[in-house]
A and B are shown apart, each in its own frame.
Chain A
Amino acid sequence: MRHTVSNLFFTTGMMLGFLSVRFLSDPNFSTEQVSYFMRAVKHEVKHGLQHVHTVKNESSADNSTHTTRILCWIMTGPNNLESRTKHIRETWAKRCNKVLYMSSVKTDFPTVELNVSEGRDNLYWKTIRAFQYVHQHHLDQADWFLKADDDTFVVMENLRYILSKYDPEKPLYLGRRFTPFIRQGYMSGGAGYVLSKEALRRFVTGFNTGECTHFSTIEDMALGKCMETMEVKPADSRDVKGRQTFHPYPPDHYLVRQPPRPRPWYLIYDHYTPVEGPGCCSDFVVSFHYIYAVELYVLEYLTYHLRPYGYHYRFNPDSDEEFNTTTMST
């Protein structure tokens, strides 16, 4: 009798012991650990395999063709340094031969102090002072002088490519050409515009002699007037297929397919007849505007990083295709 009771207790104890040890060692535990460990080991084992890029243009672009040195000056202010200008410095500004950040206040960003207050009405004053500053201190350091906003994205390589076909000693400037107000038109401020060295000289001279004045607060239009007065010609920045390179608005304003329609408001000023949809824009885009921090990095990623491996691009501007002038409306 006692024997059976003992056995019963023994068996119960055994079952309890078995179950408690089972519970304590979670059956999921071991497989999780193993897979995690395996993954960690494999990650450590991976070597720094070569990036597929053969050409990297990270540092200031001194390795570019002989004379297409570009000085970039960026119109900014103290309120935007953290939210916008900082990200420009992290992305495309590095590809300028020289970059200056123009503001009303000198800082360690570094920014140049223009002795002009902030505000939309002072944009043209800032532009005048900025170009005068550049002319005084940096004229010999570049052949071309780009003005951009702190919400503009610029692809410097593509700007260099366009400018390589022009002579910086000629009086000309390039950008997104607008028609109204000025007989020869003017270049959109937001899309960025670039002056040749001779154009810069003439701009500064114009203000010295009084031929150019601050007659309006509309920066891009007023500068266009001075250009016209000083006989600086607007050059055509479109590619060999007549597609635009400078853009005053973000990519979705142009690329999204539209049914045939009258010009939307943001295309009304265009000098060359705008095209909506994929034919709007050159593969070798120079600029987009109203681009804030996130979109700036997105464009940087799309332009310089993400690509379709092995893809044979359709557009090759240097191939021996005939330059068909009839495709480009004037």
Chain B
Amino acid sequence: MLSEGGSFMKGMVMGGLFCLLLSLLGSFRPGTESKTEDHHHHHVKAPSKDELTRLSDSRVQELSNQVRVSCVIMVQPKVLVYWATALDTWSKHCDKAVFYTSESSKALEAIDLNEKDDWARLRKALTHAYENAGGLQWFFVAQATTFAIIENLKYLVLAKDPSEPFYLGNVMKSGELEYVTYDSGIVLSYEALKRLVHVFQDEDKCPERGRALWKMSEDKQLAVCLKYTGVFAENGEDAHGKGLFNSKGVNSLISESMKNNPNNVVEGCCSDMAVTFSGMSPNQMQVMMFGVYRLRPYGHDFHDSLVFNPPENSDND
């Protein structure tokens, strides 16, 4: 009896030690790191003023011509007023803006994907955008309920190479999965979109109708598919580390800052170079056009390294 007990104890100790050994070996696995070397940072920062002044004038000019954004805007007739607002406001600052709808509307024009499933519709829109890229290298995917400042998006990706895979926005974590939240806008470089469209063909990795048991939201599905191609979500931040993509509106963020930073409300709130806000009403978005593109104190000049001209045929910016 005693010898059996002894054997058992010996076995337990051996088993435990064996497990420890395996996990130690596991953390030293060399392969996985190098595959994703450059882009497994967790955040992507906008260039600092220093970085830009170091570039030559001609190089900066080159970059500002190259960084062109194609906006993929997902709309639905049931939120017609948001659709109309996006059309009248921020989308005018995209180099190209295409609206994709779930069903057509008599009031406004869009590409009718005739697809009720949100994930399937997003896939179709992204595929279409890729196939009709027309030389544009950056893609901004948003719903009409988001408000975006495209010039600041351009500033963020200015010095980034779109032939590298970039998948940027406001990054959240769900279990092990890091993904860019849909409501604050998703930025994809040409390379990332290319890999994505190719993995769409793989029904095992990236099924069209989603995983059988439960429905994952489209932004998480996107992250899963991209992960298979070696593309990981990265948080878009300014040179100070402040997030540029916001899942809330300006009023909400200011309210929060009043609670958290009562002595420094505005500085503690949001970035000067914010790219997106979400959850703002159509009227608030019209006011934002004024607040962002017009309202300013006389005499404050910024001497930015780049120049972006206002869009044609627009009276609210």
A contact set with B: CB distance below 8 Å: 2, 5-7, 9-22, 25, 28, 30-31, 35, 38-39, 42-43, 46, 48-55, 57, 90-91, 155-158, 160-161, 251-252, 255-257, 277-279, 281, 283-285, 293-295, 297-315, 317
A13-B12, A257-B286, A298-B251 known; A314 vs B299 contact (CB < 8 Å): no
Contact assessment for B49 and A14 in the assembled complex, using a CB-CB cutoff below 8 Å:
no
* Chain A: CB-nearest residue to B298: A161
Chain B residue contacts of A293, Cβ below 8 A: 258
6 new A-B contacts, CB < 8 A, other than A308-B150, A312-B310, are A9-B7, A28-B175, A255-B289, A295-B251, A298-B254, A309-B155
Contact assessment for B8 and A49 in the assembled complex, using a CB-CB cutoff below 8 Å:
no
Contact assessment for B15 and A54 in the assembled complex, using a CB-CB cutoff below 8 Å:
no
Contact assessment for B240 and A309 in the assembled complex, using a CB-CB cutoff below 8 Å:
no
Chain A residue contacts of B229, Cβ below 8 A: none
Decide if B273 is an interface residue (CB 8 Å cutoff).
yes
Per-position binary interface string of chain B over residues 274-317, scored 1 when its CB falls under 8 Å from any chain A CB and 0 otherwise: 10000000011011111111111111111111111110000111
Interface centre among A38, A278, A295 (most CB of B within 10 A): A278
Q: Would you mind naming 25 contact pairs between A and B with Cβ atoms under 8 Å apart? A: A9-B8, A13-B7, A13-B10, A17-B11, A18-B19, A21-B20, A22-B23, A28-B176, A30-B27, A35-B42, A42-B42, A50-B49, A55-B300, A91-B266, A157-B298, A158-B297, A252-B283, A277-B316, A278-B315, A283-B295, A284-B296, A304-B266, A308-B150, A309-B306, A314-B310
Decide if B228 is an interface residue (CB 8 Å cutoff).
no
Interface centre among B8, B284, B286, B292 (most CB of A within 10 A): B8
Per-position binary interface string of chain B over residues 203-247, scored 1 when its CB falls under 8 Å from any chain A CB and 0 otherwise: 000000000000000000000000000000000000111000000
CB contact between A300 and one of B4, B23, B266, B310 (< 8 Å): that residue? B266
Contact assessment for A158 and B269 in the assembled complex, using a CB-CB cutoff below 8 Å:
no
Chain A residue contacts of B14, Cβ below 8 A: 10, 13-14, 17
B contact set with A: CB distance below 8 Å: 3-5, 7-20, 23, 27, 41-43, 48-50, 64, 88, 93, 149-152, 154-155, 175-176, 239-241, 250-251, 254-255, 257-258, 265-266, 269-270, 272-274, 283-284, 286-310, 315-317
The B interface is mostly helix, strand or loop, or mixed, namely helix
* Chain A: CB-nearest residue to B13: A17
Chain B residue contacts of A7, Cβ below 8 A: 7
**How many interface contacts (CB-CB < 8 Å) are there between A and B?**
238
- Least CB distance from B48 to A in Å reads 4
CB contact between B241 and one of A9, A43, A285 (< 8 Å): that residue? A43
A17-B16, A278-B315, A302-B295 known; A294 vs B255 contact (CB < 8 Å): yes
Contact assessment for A14 and B251 in the assembled complex, using a CB-CB cutoff below 8 Å:
no
A49–B45 Cα distance when bound, in Å, is: 12
Contact assessment for B269 and A301 in the assembled complex, using a CB-CB cutoff below 8 Å:
yes
Contact assessment for A14 and B18 in the assembled complex, using a CB-CB cutoff below 8 Å:
yes
A24–B176 Cα distance when bound, in Å, is: 19
Chain B residue contacts of A257, Cβ below 8 A: 88, 286
Contact assessment for B294 and A10 in the assembled complex, using a CB-CB cutoff below 8 Å:
no
A310–B47 Cα distance when bound, in Å, is: 13
A46-B241, A255-B287, A312-B307 known; A161 vs B299 contact (CB < 8 Å): yes
* Chain B: CB-nearest residue to A14: B15
Interface centre among B149, B288, B296, B306 (most CB of A within 10 A): B296
CB contact between A251 and one of B287, B299, B306 (< 8 Å): that residue? B287
A91–B264 Cα distance when bound, in Å, is: 10
A305–B265 Cα distance when bound, in Å, is: 12
Chain A residue contacts of B273, Cβ below 8 A: 52, 307, 309
A73–B110 Cα distance when bound, in Å, is: 53
- Least CB distance from B150 to A in Å reads 8
- Least CB distance from A328 to B in Å reads 18
A12-B8, A294-B251 known; A256 vs B283 contact (CB < 8 Å): yes
* Chain A: CB-nearest residue to B20: A21
A264–B269 Cα distance when bound, in Å, is: 35
Contact assessment for A10 and B7 in the assembled complex, using a CB-CB cutoff below 8 Å:
yes
